[in-house]
Amino acid sequence: MVAPRVHTRSMGNRRNFRSGKIGRTVSPVAMAWIALILTVLPLQADDPAAGRPEQAAAQQEAEFLGDVRQVTFGLPRAGEGYFSPDGETIVFQAYPVGYPFYQIYVQPLDERVPFRISPGRGRTTCAYFTPDGDRILFASAHTNPDVEQIEAEARQLAAEGGRRRYQWDFDPHMDIYVVNADGTGMKQLTDAPGYDAEGSYSPDGSQIVFTSTRDGDPDLYIMNADGSNVRQLTDVDGYDGGPFFSPDGNWVIFRSDRQQEHMLQIFAISTDGKTEVQLTDDLNTVNWAPYFHPSGKYIVWTRADYSRGPRFANFDLYTMDIESDEKTFRGGKTQRITFHEKADVLPVFSPDGSKLMWTSSRTEDGSSQLWIADWLRD
């Protein structure tokens, strides 16, 4: 952990994201973390430690996880799931059968039949329930005028047996929408040029924090729940994304590669933008997808060790103790949660803190799907 500080942007070294694509060569490290962040592709480690029997991994995980079970089925790939406020329903992104881009689905946990709430066309991502559970936030690029061409290219690549590049396009037509939980009444909240996505609500539902490239670089912004009063929260060169409010609403936790391209680290910033704290500071590791336990006493996040290169890296879940008030935010003890040889990413807690849900390729067929476990830590 490093001391709190406020960053300022070096305007002479900006990376241009407004055009819709990352304007640089994509390194092997970048290919791994970008794929997992936004496409959640299965990632396997080629490592003696990663070859441990599943039984041994389960024994190591038993301190924190009970009754580990898969909860999504029937879709080629599913991930980045979030609980409804009552903990009985989940919203997530998944590839529809025969379609090359993620769409948003809702599924009661006592059923295995999800239903789609997004438009069904174009890239779609980052869904989140309103605190009252009546509506769902998500981002979609279905208005992209080139959507048919983009779909055709993706389908052709799949037909040829190819795989899409490990790169996420910051689609300039990606905007944030809100829809009723049954999929009706969709309303657009953002319309600025550039990518707007990765949104989530404040605890009282009055504000949304999100990532936008409207200034040419992926920064964090906060707006009112109706899309009004947009104000910039971070202004540092590099990608800032995946933001979530703390349970008390005083802080936002997020991921950033501002220290070194592609090597994501975890940060927290006060909602007034005056104080910022870096929580991870190891440039041999990729750290992302932080999420608060509802008690506010700790966070869970995803980490991989890249000290021996991407080939030997595997993503696992960790917790970090947190002490915070209105003016200060400190990270403390960390603990490893998962030990499986397959990737475990994008962890979230249920609103009552009793369950942990995450995306994992520990499935029988190797596809990425959502998993849930009883959370055994206070």
Each residue of 145-185: pLDDT tens digit? 999 999 999 898 888 876 554 445 689 999 999 999 999 99
61's tokens: 């995980």
The pLDDT assigned to 282 comes to 96
**Which of 324, 235, 240 has the alpha carbon at shortest distance from 1?**
324
The pLDDT assigned to 54 comes to 81
Average pLDDT score over residue span 122-140: 98
With a cut of 90, say whether residue 363 has pLDDT above it: yes
Domains of the chain are: 11-375 (2.120.10.30)
Give the integer Cα–Cα distance in Å for 24 and 262: 11
Enumerate residues 6+ apart whose C-beta is below 8 A from 31.
Answer: 165, 166, 167, 310
Each residue of 79-123: pLDDT tens digit? 999 999 999 999 999 999 999 999 999 999 999 899 999 999 999
User: What is the model's pTM?
Assistant: 0.88
Work out the percent of the chain whose per-residue pLDDT is above 70.
84
In DSSP terms, which residues pair with 358 in a beta bridge?
A: 371
Greatest extent of the chain over all pairs of C-alpha atoms, in Å: 55
Average pLDDT score over residue span 11-35: 42
Give the integer Cα–Cα distance in Å for 296 and 323: 8
Highest mean pLDDT among 44-48, 150-154, 298-302: 298-302
